[in-house]
Amino acid sequence: MLNMKYLMLIILFLSIKLNAQESKQFTIEGKIKKNLSIDLPSLKEFKILSIDSMVVLNYLLQRKSSIKNIKGVLLKDVLSKVEIEAESPKKLSEYYIVCTAKDNYKVVFSWNEVFNNETGKHIFILTSFDANPDKEEKGNIALISPTDEATGRRFVKGLSKISILQVN
């Protein structure tokens, strides 16, 4: 009986862990006029970009994994669909963007990094990609910044929310 309890706990843990990263939609909220919900079909309305493959590096710049057959849209294109509540364009420099995964992993970009820098031309919301089957890098919607040196630091698997906030 004790072994059955352990087996059930292991099965429950694995099912939670495997489903934790899966995302079929995300919301954009924060200091914007109107919250927006984005799902996979609505992402297809944006210009789809493709990358053959890329290596995902950890914070030590060591190979963590690789992803292939990458398709996605630019974060800045998606964010252009919301109206930020800024008093003036000058105030936009005080804004930052927090991208949150279903497991609560968070990464941050400044408004200028996304809209006023070369980096913004390379931050992708991924609509599909092939991951290493040994890794848990699955999820219908993800986000990555391929021009980062440690690409794994801002690889959000299972994107669930984008918050646009202002520095106090």
Low-confidence ranges of the chain (pLDDT < 50): 7, 9, 12, 14-20, 137
Asked if residue 82 lies in contact with residue 127, where contact means CB atoms within 8 angstroms, the answer is no
- In CATH terms, the superfamily for domain 2-166 is Oxidoreductase, molybdopterin-binding domain (3.90.420.10)
* Backbone φ, ψ for residue 152 (5° rounding): -70, -20
Q: How many CB atoms lie within 10 A of CB 163?
A: 17
Question: What pTM was estimated for this model as a whole?
Answer: 0.83
Summarised one tens digit per residue, pLDDT across range 44-84 is 999 999 999 999 999 999 999 999 999 999 999 999 999 99
- Domain limits of the chain? 2-166
